């Protein structure tokens, strides 16, 4: 079985093709990143992100089919509804129609697409593109929850034994969530951020320090250059009696700390070290709390911030101390491979024409 997966929930246009035998194999994995475009705003601009998805999705799709050796010369009879589905993206519609006059249905059995959470206009580019393909190639269309995908991608290479019950941490640019997994498909949310997401905090802090977007990578790079910091920032909600996070206070504290000052290079490095430490300590403390409260076999992490080496090391130490497994995925930042993996491991109903974006989709929706 071969599946094509589409991800457009935020600022990355991703398309992957996976093959499922006994194992899941990645045949193609393409991503068009908009980082350079959004860098000028220091964050993601939704209408620009939508426009870029519509502009780039076809070439990402074509590259993925080519890489997976699935382009087959011939024709696909164009379904008249294609025009309606893609009417908001006229250039994309033309490219797809032209493609259908040159290529026939490839050896694909399913389509998977992210339906939420994410930026609604962006989600709809992926959903409508997926609908058009599903209709013309008569393929089932599987909706995928982006959060679930960030965690299930941990299982792409091997099916580990005795993973559940597990604690999952989603640490990304748009989400900060902790939840318990009883088994795949059975989730209980423990907590989430009350304001900024963890990656958003890294990005906003970097902006205050005049560092480029995405800020998390820049802060991590500079934090590594020092071993201590003269600065002290708050650890918001460190001792709160719950699993919620709050990161906007950290950004505000940084704003006041920087007011009227010009930091030299070493001071910037020390500030980055302090920002990373403040964020890390909160994540570790909340994780430790969950370990004490719930019987667990493992900790699974996912999302762009989970690629942070300092946070990974702290969680590794914590897992080791508590004799728990820690699973760190190869695919941390947004990608389409995880969407395909999630559709394979936790398939939802084929909803094709009823499919809707849900920017606030919850794990059990």
Residues that bind ligand KG4 (CB under 6 A): 10, 172-174, 199, 202-203, 214-217, 220, 303-305, 307-308, 333-334
Please, which residue, 173 or 236, has the CB nearer to ligand KG4? 173
To the nearest whole angstrom, how small is the minimum distance from the Cβ of residue 297 to ligand KG4?
Answer: 25
Residue whose CB is less far from ligand KG4, 68 or 149: 149
Phi first, then psi: give them for residue 223, nearest 5 degrees: -60, -30
Contact between 14 and 30 (Cβ < 8 Å): yes
Sign of CA dihedral 362, 244, 121, 12: negative
Q: How far apart are CA 311 and CA 281, in angstroms?
A: 9
Specify the residue, 38 or 110, whose C-beta has the smaller distance to ligand KG4: 38
Dist. CA 331–CA 102, nearest whole Å: 33
Query: What is the rounded distance in angstroms from the CA atom of residue 180 to the CA atom of residue 191?
Result: 10
Least separation in angstroms between CB 334 and ligand KG4: 4
Structural contact between residues 299 and 169, judged by C-beta atoms closer than 8 angstroms:
yes
- Contact between 230 and 270 under an 8 Å Cβ cutoff? The reply is yes
Question: Which C-beta is closer to ligand KG4: that of 134 or that of 318?
Answer: 318
To ligand KG4, the closest distance from the beta carbon of 70 in angstroms equals 26
Count H helices and E strands in the chain, helices first: 12, 10
**Nearer to ligand KG4 among residue 287 and residue 307 (C-beta):** 307
Give the residue with the Cβ less far from ligand KG4, 124 or 247: 247
Contacts of 40 (CB under 8 A, 6+ apart): none
CB of 247 to ligand KG4, least distance (A): 11
Considering the complex, what minimum distance in angstroms separates the CB of residue 337 from ligand KG4?
13
In 3-state terms, what secondary structure has residue 161?
Answer: coil
> In the bound complex, what is the minimum distance in angstroms from residue 176's beta carbon to ligand KG4?
10
Residue 77's SS3 state is coil
């Amino acid at each position: 079985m071969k599946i094509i997966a589409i991800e457009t929930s935020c600022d990355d246009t991703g398309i992957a093709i996976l093959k499922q035998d006994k194992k899941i194999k990645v045949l193609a994995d393409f991503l068009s990143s908009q980082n350079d475009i959004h860098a000028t705003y220091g964050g993601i601009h939704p209408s620009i992100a939508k426009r870029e998805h519509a502009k780039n999705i076809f070439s990402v799709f074509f590259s993925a089919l080519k890489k997976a050796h699935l382009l087959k010369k011939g024709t696909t009879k164009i379904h008249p509804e294609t025009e309606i589905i893609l009417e908001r993206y006229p250039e994309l519609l033309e490219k797809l129609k032209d493609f259908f006059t040159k290529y026939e249905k490839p050896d694909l059995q399913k389509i998977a697409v992210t339906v939420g959470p994410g930026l609604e206009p962006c989600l709809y580019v992926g959903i409508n593109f997926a609908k058009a393909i599903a209709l013309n190639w008569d393929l089932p269309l599987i909706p995928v929850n982006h959060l679930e995908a960030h965690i299930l991608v941990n299982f792409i290479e091997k099916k580990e034994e005795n993973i559940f019950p597990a604690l999952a941490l989603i640490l990304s640019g748009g989400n900060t969530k902790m939840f318990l997994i009883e088994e795949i498909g059975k989730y209980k949310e423990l907590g989430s951020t009350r304001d900024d997401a963890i990656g958003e905090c890294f990005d906003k802090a970097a902006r205050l320090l005049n560092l480029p977007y995405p800020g998390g990578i820049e802060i991590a790079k500079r934090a590594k250059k020092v071993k201590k910091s003269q600065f002290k920032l708050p650890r918001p909600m460190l001792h709160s009696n719950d699993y919620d996070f709050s990161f906007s206070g950290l950004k505000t504290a940084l704003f006041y700390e920087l007011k009227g000052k010009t930091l030299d290079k070493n001071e910037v490095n020390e500030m980055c070290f302090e920002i990373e430490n403040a964020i890390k300590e909160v994540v570790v403390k909340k994780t430790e709390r969950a370990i004490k409260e719930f019987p667990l076999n493992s900790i699974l992490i996912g999302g762009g911030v989970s690629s942070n080496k300092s946070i990974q090391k702290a969680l590794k130490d914590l897992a080791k101390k508590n004799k728990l497994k820690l699973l760190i995925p190869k695919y941390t930042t947004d990608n389409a491979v995880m969407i395909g993996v999630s559709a394979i491991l936790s398939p939802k109903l084929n909803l094709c024409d009823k499919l809707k974006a849900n920017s606030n989709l919850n794990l059990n929706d």
